[in-house]
Chains A and B, each alone.
Chain A
């Protein structure tokens, strides 16, 4: 179990993915999507950890550092994730205004009626 962090990633990823696929509520889908993305953040963050390493600050007392690069990368990915969620929620608001519902099945039904 020395690499249990990967199990955390996989379980979170599957939970998120399952919510996206199985739920019909648009907001819940976005929540699932966020969990899914978060699992990838954890994958990146945990891969930078070096056993016994400290924060990457240059100091003569320490020689082992954690790798800061994945952490920096994931800052960008977090920003992207927030932007995605924001755009998604904005779309949900507009969908609610246009269709009067945020349930996938009801939206499909209304579209089918129109055709």
Chain B
């Protein structure tokens, strides 16, 4: 049983998805889906523990040896991401029952949970697998279910956003498919470890360059790197709030994992970061993303859209860390992947609570929300502080590491960009604080008693769990720093 854990946590939600159809009743399906996510989470924690104590786990599907069969390979990086994705999925799903009552028609609840579980399966699969083609298949599993999840939004613009995401996402995935195909052409294998071994012999072949270019563009579309982010803001803004919380905290993170996995494990640092002009391009786009998307975020009138643009900016930070090509830079990137997932999870869950009570995420409907829903609004504010990078929050830790990594290479101008980006974050978070606390609701008259009506406890609890995680990982960095340290070491070819 224990030896099957690497595959079990992917199979569990996959099998659970069609089982939901038999249960039908919304509440029952919710309990079932949450238990399944919880089990996946426990398994991923167990996997992390095994990897920490015994090193990389290799699991052969069906007992076929690696180059012929598909293998699942869980190393420190995968285990770390598995824990992140499954925890977020579980916590977010805890709030789903109340939130979707208001946002999704009753007869589609079961279908919502099925898509959610399939999307979750796809993400876990991408992270766990050690086979390049398998990555593409799981990528499509998670993307296709993400399109349907976004299309469930009540606003008709959700459909249009979902369609645009489908077109962009499919082009991205097809580019990745071309990249993998061309790599298979020159190496004759699809197993990642095997591929990595054979690539150094063929680095002078042009096909490999083409493969690399296609792959990078495809993945950057998926991870919404500026200027390939156009699908993201609308998709996040009009999707049901729970879906936004889930996707914002996981989908782009998994794409970043794919980028790191292919660059470091398959192509190798030498080829991709010194041989190709990738670091310069990524750094330029990262800088543009941080500044450009933050400025656009300030101008938004819908807070879901506002934080969606902020996500694009935060992806810029991750890519900045990644583009340095140093151990410190990659560690900063991984830390920000983890911390940003917690930040955006907390913020979008709190927004789900606001949308549950107010029925809208438009800034003009949120006047005085701080008095009406103090706990929920406080969660947005704490999340916002973490987003800015205020000390004692998780956001501070990753920005601190990013700045240290930049200073290590003497890149002063980029440090200034990071600080300016944080200042812009102060502006858009303050904008919300001002509306929430210092403006009176529409039609408010002197002497009116403001009725306190919090979001239901089932949304409030996961929100504050994530907020607490933000503060905890801001104070105690043992877990995140240790694990990312080990992951980076193994990616740079040190001890596992």
Q: Which residues of chain A have a CB within 8 Å of any CB of chain B?
A: 17, 20, 26, 29, 33, 36-37, 40, 43-44, 47, 69-70, 73, 76-77, 80, 83-84, 87-88, 91-92, 94-95, 98-99, 107, 111, 114
Contacts and interface: CB of A to CB of B under 8 A. Distances in A.
Interface of B: 133, 136-137, 140, 144, 147-148, 151, 156-157, 159-160, 162-163, 166-167, 170-171, 173-174, 177-178, 181, 184-185, 190
A114 B362 CA distance: 13
B166 A91 contact: yes
Given A84-B140, A87-B147, A99-B156, A43 B178 contact: yes
Contacts of B167: 20, 29, 33, 88
A87 B171 contact: no
A88 B171 CA distance: 13
A97 to B, nearest CB: 9
Contacts of A47: 181, 184-185
A51 to B, nearest CB: 15
Closest 6 interchain pairs by CB? A98-B156, A80-B140, A91-B163, A95-B159, A94-B159, A44-B181
B239 to A, nearest CB: 13
Given A88-B166, A98-B159, A40 B151 contact: no
B144 A107 contact: no
Given A33-B167, A36-B174, A84-B140, A95 B181 contact: no
A26 B190 CA distance: 35
Given A20-B167, A107-B160, 12 more contacts: A33-B167, A33-B170, A36-B171, A36-B174, A47-B181, A47-B184, A70-B181, A76-B137, A84-B144, A87-B166, A95-B159, A95-B163
A29 B173 CA distance: 16
**Interface residue SS majority, chain B:** helix
Contacts of A83: 140, 144
A44 B157 CA distance: 37
Contact of A20 (B160, B171, B178): B171
Contacts of A33: 167, 170-171
Contacts of A43: 178, 181
B156 A91 contact: no
Given A36-B171, A37-B174, A73 B163 contact: no
A94 B151 CA distance: 9
Nearest to B150: A91
23 contacts: A20-B171, A29-B167, A36-B171, A40-B174, A40-B177, A40-B181, A47-B184, A70-B181, A70-B184, A73-B190, A76-B133, A80-B173, A84-B140, A84-B170, A87-B144, A87-B147, A88-B166, A94-B151, A95-B156, A95-B160, A95-B163, A99-B160, A114-B157
Nearest to A88: B166
Nearest to A43: B181
Nearest to B140: A80
A87 B148 contact: yes
A84 B168 CA distance: 12
B185 A88 contact: no
A111 B157 contact: yes
Nearest to B169: A84
A42 to B, nearest CB: 11
Nearest to B302: A115
Nearest to B162: A91
Contact of A84 (B157, B166, B178): B166
A99 B160 CA distance: 10
A5 B382 CA distance: 57
B157 A80 contact: no
A51 B133 CA distance: 25
Contacts of B185: 47
A45 B181 CA distance: 10
Contacts of B151: 91, 94
Interface centre among A17, A84, A92, A111 (most CB of B within 10 A): A84
Contacts of A37: 170, 174
B144 A77 contact: no
A22 B167 CA distance: 13
Contacts of A94: 151, 159
Nearest to A67: B188
A17 B147 CA distance: 21
A91 B157 CA distance: 11
A88 B163 contact: yes
A26 B164 CA distance: 10
Nearest to A37: B174
Interface centre among B140, B144, B167, B170 (most CB of A within 10 A): B170
A59 to B, nearest CB: 21
A98 B153 CA distance: 12
Contacts of B173: 80
A43 B182 CA distance: 9
B166 A80 contact: no
Contacts of B147: 87, 91
A103 B156 CA distance: 15
A69 B180 CA distance: 13
B162 A77 contact: no
A50 to B, nearest CB: 12
Nearest to A92: B163
A36 B177 CA distance: 12
A23 to B, nearest CB: 11
Contacts of B184: 47, 70
A111 B160 contact: yes
Contacts of A84: 140, 144, 166, 170
Contacts of B157: 111, 114
